[in-house]
Amino acid sequence: MIVGTVLGHVWATQKDPTLEGLRFLVVQPMDANGQNTAETIVAVDPMGAGIGERVLVVFGRAARHVIGKGHDIGFQTAVAAIIDRMELKDRSIGPHVDQDES
């Protein structure tokens, strides 16, 4: 599992039928300084997270559990939680990425 920041949305018309009606987010993993890394992953979001919000992203069987449509589906990454707060040794991080972090 990782914590990442919602960077944006993805739309696709031509897709596996099991992707129909789902919300796809682009998420940037967070590094140990609370900054975003250059990498991106795509996650199905059943929670309605907004751009700039920090989310907990899970993979594989855990993602299929979160989505709740069984195991025969064409995706394997999902948002399992929207982060309220993180305490990282010497700093507290709120739910949104601050202006000066973007």
Site of interaction with its own copies (CB under 8 A): 1-3, 7-16, 18-19, 24, 26, 28-33, 36-43, 47, 51-52, 56, 58-66, 71-78, 80-89, 102
Residue 43's Cβ-count burial label (10 Å; 0-12, 13-18, 19+) is: buried
Q: Cβ of residue 99: shortest distance to its own copies, in angstroms?
A: 12
Per residue in 69-81, is it b (16+ CB within 10 Å) or e — as a string?
eeeebebebbbbe
Q: Cβ of residue 102: shortest distance to its own copies, in angstroms?
A: 7
Two structure tokens written together for 58: 């899970």
Q: Cβ of residue 17: shortest distance to its own copies, in angstroms?
A: 10
